[in-house]
Every structure is written in structure tokens, then in C-alpha cells.
Structure 1
Amino acid sequence: MPILDEVDAKIINILKKDSRTPFTEIASTLGVSDSTIHVRLKKLKDDGILRGYTLDINEELMGKKIHGLAMINVNLGHLDEVVSALMRKESVIRIYETHGANDLIALINARDLDELREVLIEIRKTENIASTALTTILKIWK
């Protein structure tokens, strides 16, 4: 398992805040050369620590103002096929496999409560889902 030093950790923290930060700006902030940043990022990618650069989309500005967590229990031996089915649903943003009361937790974004309800109904129709429960998210802090 790769060990991160202080420079690697600082690079990651800068990119967490804005993944588009130019190498020159990162280098200047950390007091190292641009090539050092380039080499460090390549190693972080090669080691599998940095998997990619993603967008942080404000779903609310795109009309998706309601967020919910669907707690899902799956019939034994069918987890992978249920996950595959959930991944095809546009309103399902993230899927987490969990240990505890539920097998999966799916993050859902919807325009309104009616759409959230419809998404949950569609999830419930998925073959090999044993049970579901929904928690509506009131506020996202982080």
C-alpha cells in the first residue's frame, strides 16, 4: 500500500477543493517545481490513489431539489445484478454497499417529492430486491 508524504497529501487537498487547479498554481502554493507536481500526480494515478477528476454538479440548479436515501435489502446471491439495474437508473446518483441493517444505500436526486416517490416505486419493481425504505434528505452540509 502506497504511503503518502506531506506533499502528496497537500496536492490531494488542493485538488479536492478544485480539481481544475493548474499544476503551476499547485507548485507555487507548495513551493515546488511544476515537474514535481506532474511526477507526483502521475504516481498517485499509477498507484490508484487518484482515480480521476470529477465534476461537482449543483443538482438543485439543474432542477433536482429533492434528495433521498433508499435503503435496500437484496435477496441472497443477487447483489451484483441489483446494483447493475440500479446503475441504469438516471435518478440514482450513487450506490453504496453497506454492512448492517441494509445491503445497499442508493442516493437519489429528484425534481420533487412526486418524482422521488416514482423513482422509489421503480426501484421496488427491480427483481431480487427484498425490501426498501426511504429517508428524505433535508439539508446537505458537506
Structure 2
Amino acid sequence: MAVDELDTRILRLLLEQPRTSVREYARLLGIARGTLQARLDRMERDGVITGTGPSLSPAALGHPVLAFVHIEVTQGHMDDVGEALAAVPEIVEAFSTTGGGDLLARVVGRDNAHLEDVIQKLISVPGVVRTRTEVALRERVPYRLLPLVESVGRSAAKP
């Protein structure tokens, strides 16, 4: 789906001012509310906008330890292991990957001992062959999309 310069301006506002009303966005952009709503609906339908919920902090929820766990899975068990991972609340996301492991999970814990307990739970999942864990020390670049949105917008503005 191609985004144009107006879409980019809309996305920038959504990222910078997520709690603003549609009416206020339209005013700030200098466009009709109906135009804005149609753009938002299209971007949601096309999967550009995937949610509107708040961004939560696992650390503020009492889980300040972050680790990335590489999980090797027995052939043919990826779906079963994926379902089992989805049942572990401390796994905040997981991806199938290429490379040294089959899955990469972002895992949070209350402390190192709790993280170890979560990893032991993962190891006991049928189909998990082994895990390799890397504990994050400090976030260097927080999750962000505004630079990408701006880059896409600059590309869309070029003839």
C-alpha cells in the first residue's frame, strides 16, 4: 500500500499526539474531517494502522528484566510450540526466524530468578529442543516508527 504525503502527515500526528480527537487532527492538518476519516479507514483496512491502544511498560508493571530467547524447535512442531508460548504471559512477543534458532521470543521477568523460571517453563514445552537467552542491559533505541514514516513520506513526495 502506498502512502502519500498527506498520509505521512496523518501518521506523524497519530504518533506524536495519540490522544487527540479526529476533529482536532483534521483542524491541525487543514483538511475536512470526512477526508481524514476516509484516510484513517483506508490505512486501517490496508494494515498500515494496526491498533489504537496505549503503549504499556513491562518494567512499570513490575517486570523490568528483558531478555531475547532463541528457541530451537523440533521439525513439525512449530505451531504447537507457538501455541504453548502464547500461553506464557511473560512472553510479550515471538517470531519465527531464520538463522540459529527457529523462534525468537521477547521475554520479561520480575528479576533474574523469575526469568530463569520462565525459561525453564519454555524448555519443558514439548517440541522445544534448546534455548539460548540474551539479557538486555539497556535500551539504546526505543521502539519507534516516526523516522520510518518520515522516510516513506519523503519517498512518496519525490516525483
- Does TM, normalized by the shorter one, top 0.5? yes
C-alpha deviation, 1:89, in angstroms: 0.3
1:33 counterpart residue number? 32
Q: Determine what percentage of the aligned residue pairs are the same residue.
A: 26
The 10-residue stretch of structure 1 (57-66 or 83-92) with the greater mean CA deviation from structure 2: 57-66
Unpaired segments ≥5 residues, structure 2: 143-159
1:122 counterpart residue number? 121
Deviation track 1:22-65 (CA, whole Å, cap 9, x = no partner) reads 21232233221222111101111122222222321122121111
The 10-residue stretch of structure 1 (24-33 or 60-69) with the greater mean CA deviation from structure 2: 24-33
C-alpha deviation, 1:4, in angstroms: 0.9
Amino acid at match of 2:76: G
C-alpha deviation, 1:107, in angstroms: 0.6
User: Whole-Å Cα distance in 2 between the matches of residues 54 and 24 of structure 1?
Assistant: 19
The 10-residue stretch of structure 1 (64-73 or 10-19) with the greater mean CA deviation from structure 2: 10-19
Instruction: Assess, with a 3 A threshold, how the Cα gap between structure 1 residues 73 and 8 changes in structure 2: closer, same or farther.
Output: same
Structure 2 residue 3 is the aligned partner of structure 1 residue 4: yes
Question: Given the two structures, how large is their TM-score scaled by the length of structure 2?
Answer: 0.82
C-alpha deviation, 1:18, in angstroms: 4.4
Judge conservation of contact 1:44–1:50 (CA < 8 Å) in 2. Answer: yes
1:78 counterpart residue number? 77
Judge conservation of contact 1:124–1:132 (CA < 8 Å) in 2. Answer: yes
Matched pairs, number: 141
Judge conservation of contact 1:19–1:54 (CA < 8 Å) in 2. Answer: no
Question: Given the two structures, how large is their TM-score scaled by the length of structure 1?
Answer: 0.91
C-alpha deviation, 1:10, in angstroms: 2.2
2:151 counterpart residue number? none
Q: Secondary structure at the match of 1:70?
A: strand
User: Whole-Å Cα distance in 1 between the matches of residues 96 and 127 of structure 2?
Assistant: 15
C-alpha deviation, 1:79, in angstroms: 0.7
Structure 2 residue 44 is the aligned partner of structure 1 residue 49: no
Instruction: Assess, with a 3 A threshold, how the Cα gap between structure 1 residues 17 and 119 changes in structure 2: closer, same or farther.
Output: farther
Judge conservation of contact 1:66–1:109 (CA < 8 Å) in 2. Answer: yes
Q: Which has the higher contact order (CA 8 A, sep 6+)?
A: 2
2:13 counterpart residue number? 14
2:149 counterpart residue number? none
Unpaired segments ≥5 residues, structure 1: none
Structure 2 residue 107 is the aligned partner of structure 1 residue 103: no
2:87 counterpart residue number? 88
